[in-house]
Amino acid sequence: MRLLLVGISHRTAPVELRERVDFQTRGVDRALQALAARGSAREAAIVSTCNRAEIYAACDDAAGAREELVSFIAEFQHVNRAEIAPHVYERTDLDVARHLFRVASGLDSLVVGEPQILGQVKDAHTTASESQTAGPVLNRLFPASFAVGKRVRTETGLGSGAVSVSYASVALARKIFGDLRGRSVLVIGAGEMGKLTALHMKSHGVPQVTIVSRTMAHAARSAEEIGGSAAPWDELDTILARSDIVISATGASSPILTKARVEAVMRPRRDRPLFLIDIALPRDVEAAAGEIEQVFLYNIDDLQATVRENLARRESEVARAEAIVSDEVEKFGAWLRSRSAIPTVVALRQRFETIRRAELERLEFKMAALPSDARARVDEITHLIVEKLLLTPTEQLKALGDADTVGAYAEALTRLFGLQPDKPRDGEQPADRGNVEPFPRPGTRTPR
């Protein structure tokens, strides 16, 4: 069984094309059903985000399936094949595992280390499970990728630090105030940037947002949009006095909050902290206001500098994350290789079982006189002997390092025991190779 990946992402395709092949618009589950109906892959899962559309498949013939999957994307999304073909990349076998592990840990993301992608990979697996297109290989591959994502998150700093200005403000506010519930936010100015930051604060639990603007109507409209309240300009000082976080983003040409004004606001507050976020250009808050005890002043440049620092820090963690990915690819590879021994293991088991049954049948007339519980014991003992005999060879086969050695062993076993790996033997259920358990579960033995 081969692993195959065909997809496009922000690295290979422009946003216009990505939008057109977004599987989410018509439903990932429908796409999986359509793909299953074509029968080119034994297993399939689709990872679909606004930055990528990737089909993960397990198939017998990788080269044929590749062409088939590209055609599928073109036909399903009603896009010209020639149009998407240059943007499509493909991976096979362990490179597929490496790619998915990198995706799940955020290494392949537009913003390195962003956390949403892990959830999106999990969704992809859930949808594939529900559509019954995930089989033993993908059911091993995807959970392994979740584990990689988790390891990278906990063992490296790849996902740490805010990487957008509004998130950086929230992170700072949380470092000053702890919990943001019960804090009040004041937005000065009715611009987009101020609203965006305020919305971010709200999503982190701030219950109260007040907007003050020189034009009351603008303030009222913005307040309505984000679910806050508006207040007239001349109440600015009163509201300042009771606010914890102030986001200032007006178009004023000279500072609105001078040091003297902030000092006057701080006097009755004593040591209650005030976080001033100045995202206006030119500045709304006099830089000297940041000297006041318990006033924390950050302007847009400061916030952007922390974002840049965080991005640099994430970059420096990439090597450690890649090492984890390699480590996990290795483990997955070992599992995948152990699977190539499965047909031989199954054939060997079937051979032994056939001999056991034939011998028991041959002795049937001699055992006829025995009580039924004694006959059951004979059946049990012979079964146990077969199990014991097969235990070591099975373990050894599954632990083999590379495909060539597995092939050589399989060849030798086939000759020594006269096996026919690909054909189910007399009366056995013809089983999908992929789903065969090398050991039968207890209780599944056929009664004589």
Partner 1 sequence: MNAVPLALYVAAFVAYAWHFARRDASVGRTATTLLAAGALAHTFAIGMLTMEVGQVPIRGATSAISMFVWLLALAYLYTELTTDERAMGVFILPIIAGLQVIPALRPVVETRSAVLQGPLFSLHVSSLLFAYASFALACVIGITYVLLFKEIKAKHLGFFYARLPSLQALDRMNQRAIVIGWVFLTLGMIVGVVWATQARGYADVAPQVQAMSLQDPKILVALVCWAIYSFELFAARRIGWGGRRTAYLSALGFAIVLLNFVPISYFFTKSHNF
Query: Which residue number, 97 or 185, has a Cβ lying nearer to partner 1?
Result: 185
Tokens of 53: 């559309």
Query: Which residue number, 140 or 269, has a Cβ lying nearer to partner 1?
Result: 269
Query: Which residue number, 273 or 393, has a Cβ lying nearer to partner 1?
Result: 273
Contacts of 282 (CB under 8 A, 6+ apart): 252, 253, 254
Q: Note if the bond before 282 is cis, omega within 30 degrees.
A: yes
When computed from its CA atoms, the radius of gyration of the chain, rounded to whole angstroms, is 32
Q: Where are the beta strands (DSSP E) in 137-264?
A: 184-188, 208-212, 229-231, 245-248
Residue 8 φ then ψ, to 5°? -130, 150
- Please provide the distance, in angstroms rounded to a whole number, between the alpha carbons at the two ends of the chain: 35
Q: Residue 45: which of 144, 176, 159 has the closest Cα? A: 144
Q: Minimum distance between the CB of residue 240 and partner 1, rounded to whole angstroms?
A: 17
Give yes or no for a contact between 144 and 332, defined as CB atoms under 8 angstroms apart: yes
Q: Minimum distance between the CB of residue 297 and partner 1, rounded to whole angstroms?
A: 9
Q: Minimum distance between the CB of residue 272 and partner 1, rounded to whole angstroms?
A: 7
59 included as an active-site residue: no
CA dihedral angle for residue 351, residue 352, residue 353, residue 358, rounded to 10 degrees: 90
Give yes or no for a contact between 292 and 273, defined as CB atoms under 8 angstroms apart: no
Q: Where on the chain is the footprint of partner 1 (CB under 8 A)?
A: 154-155, 160-161, 172, 174-179, 269-273, 290, 293-294, 296, 298, 302, 305-306, 309
Q: Can you give the three-state secondary structure of 324-350, one letter per residue?
A: HHHHHHHHHHHHHHHHHCHHHHHHHHH
Q: Minimum distance between the CB of residue 291 and partner 1, rounded to whole angstroms?
A: 9
Tokens of 227: 């679910």
Q: Residue 282: which of 250, 240, 236, 304 has the closest Cα? A: 250
Query: Which residue number, 154 or 444, has a Cβ lying nearer to partner 1?
Result: 154
Q: Residue 238: which of 222, 206, 261, 218 has the closest Cα? A: 261
- Cα separation, 111 vs 107, whole angstroms: 9
Q: Minimum distance between the CB of residue 172 and partner 1, rounded to whole angstroms?
A: 7
Give yes or no for a contact between 272 and 301, defined as CB atoms under 8 angstroms apart: no
Query: Which residue number, 305 or 376, has a Cβ lying nearer to partner 1?
Result: 305
Q: Minimum distance between the CB of residue 179 and partner 1, rounded to whole angstroms?
A: 8
Query: Which residue number, 38 or 174, has a Cβ lying nearer to partner 1?
Result: 174
Q: Choose, from 14, 33, 50, 361, the residue flagged as catalytic.
A: 50
Residues catalogued as catalytic: 50
